[in-house]
Copies of this chain bind each other. A is one copy, B any other.
């Protein structure tokens, strides 16, 4: 039987322009707890699960973050992110890309390290209704990225083999997680990472944003079913 490509999309920075708002929200949270951390270090961790991010950042700067403090940080982050909601919009080409896949009967889902609350904000920016989308969030799996659980759950929801899936993401965590489950990683620059970083983390191809991926879709995806 003819192989059919399926798509697993990351959400923040991949379909919506929200990574920098996310960085700011974490900065607000960390500042409020008196944890000094340069913005670029936060940026470099966006896209992994929030808990793992705090653990890695703490290790990097030699701090300890207790579970109750992690909970407070997470709550302040969620509040600060919500306040920036008005700034978050779909990335160029994101809506057209998803529409094209649906029209061509190529299966797709969204697998995000964020929880349902942030996912809702981002889906709204895409003009999508949660009820109509195959969505996997942090709440559905034990571990977020760079563990592959979210992508495996996505492939499972689409009822396709993970090996035939493209994982579209903007962060090296997406690419590392894709490699760990034998999906094929495709990187986008729209979250602020560089081509070289994404390639070193396993991306087969790197495009600027969803529009550029749409323009080059035939490089990486099977043709629509006849």
Contact = CB atoms under 8 A, between A and B. Distances in A.
Copies of this chain present in the complex amount to: 2
A174 interface: no
Nearest to A172: B194
Nearest to A21: B39
B17 A87 contact: no
Interface stretch (A113-121, A148-156, A184-192, A213-221): A184-192
Interface string A167-191: 0000000000000000000000111
A226 interface: no
B87 A27 contact: yes
A207 interface: no
A86 to B, nearest CB: 9
Contacts of A87: 27, 31
Contacts of A1: none
Given A27-B87, A43-B20, A87-B27, A38 B190 contact: yes
A197 interface: yes
A193 interface: yes
Contact of A20 (B13, B23, B197): B23
A19 interface: yes
A39 B27 contact: no
A200 B197 CA distance: 13
B192 A40 contact: yes
Interface string A17-36: 10110011001000100001
A184 B209 CA distance: 33
A196 to B, nearest CB: 3
Interface in A7-62: 13, 17, 19-20, 23-24, 27, 31, 36, 38-40, 43
A38 B194 contact: no
A31 B193 CA distance: 23
B24 A191 contact: no
Nearest to A192: B40
